Chain A
Amino acid sequence: SQTIHQWPATLVQPVGSPLSLECTVEGTSNPNLYWYRQAAGRGLQLLFYSVGIGQISSEVPQNLSASRPQDRQFILSSKKLLLSDSGFYLCAWRTQGAIFGYTFGSGTRLTVV
């Protein structure tokens, strides 16, 4: 069966520090991978998506970057965090070209202080 792992669950980081959030998917190959952010009162916003290894597309300009070093691994990074980067980050996957829906991870609560 397919599963998605996301860690850490919570993170408190000072302004200006680096960030690395990791997401891995099991039980499928060549998935579409996504990073969403959920900020209080603003709903879910797509940050990055990837249709293959090394292929990253950004939806909004921001202080964050994403990488996909392996087929089922998706990493969200920042060199220097801003207060505005605080939020709930969700990784998701979807089988390419299929009629199936999205599967989301359990999320990472990031607080930048």
Chain B
Amino acid sequence: KQEVTQIPAALSVPEGENLVLNCSFTDSAIYNLQWFRQDPGKGLTSLLLIQSSQREQTSGRLNASLDKSSGRSTLYIAASQPGDSATYLCALLPNAGGTSYGKLTFGQGTILTVHP
């Protein structure tokens, strides 16, 4: 059974810092890995999607990496801003013989607070 762990559970940083959020998983047979952002009381916004054959993806100040052999993914946020404050979730889609109905396994999330 796939288990996903996100560390730290909460993080508070001053504005302008670069930071790293960690996601580890127990089963390397994944189809892809997706990072989401969730603002309080809102739905999930997709940030980055990494296919199992890829090592990293970048979007603006965000960079996500994937290392299947070690069961780890990191989300790097450069020059953090107060608007980055949210809960960040990583989620894995399993590779069930090349096809999958797409049940995501989520981590518990990292609550990020960026203070001015």
Enumerate chain A interface residues (CB-CB to B < 8 A).
6, 32, 34, 43-44, 46, 49, 51, 57, 59, 88, 90, 92, 94, 97, 99-107, 109
Given contacts A90-B43, A90-B44, contact A100 B49 (CB under 8 A): yes
Contact yes or no, A43 B108, CB < 8 A:
yes
| Cα A32 to Cα B49 with chains together (Å) | 18
Given contacts A59-B103, A100-B49, A101-B49, contact A43 B109 (CB under 8 A): yes
| Cα A100 to Cα B57 with chains together (Å) | 13
| Cα A25 to Cα B18 with chains together (Å) | 36
* A49, A103, A104, A109 interface centre (most CB from chain B within 10 Å): A104
| Cα A60 to Cα B93 with chains together (Å) | 18
Contact yes or no, A49 B102, CB < 8 A:
yes
Given contacts A43-B106, A51-B101, contact A107 B43 (CB under 8 A): yes
Contact yes or no, B42 A106, CB < 8 A:
yes
Output the least CB separation between A19 and chain B (Å).
Answer: 19
Given contacts A46-B104, A102-B91, A109-B41, contact A97 B46 (CB under 8 A): no
Task: Tell me the nearest residue of chain B to A105, going by C-beta.
Answer: B43
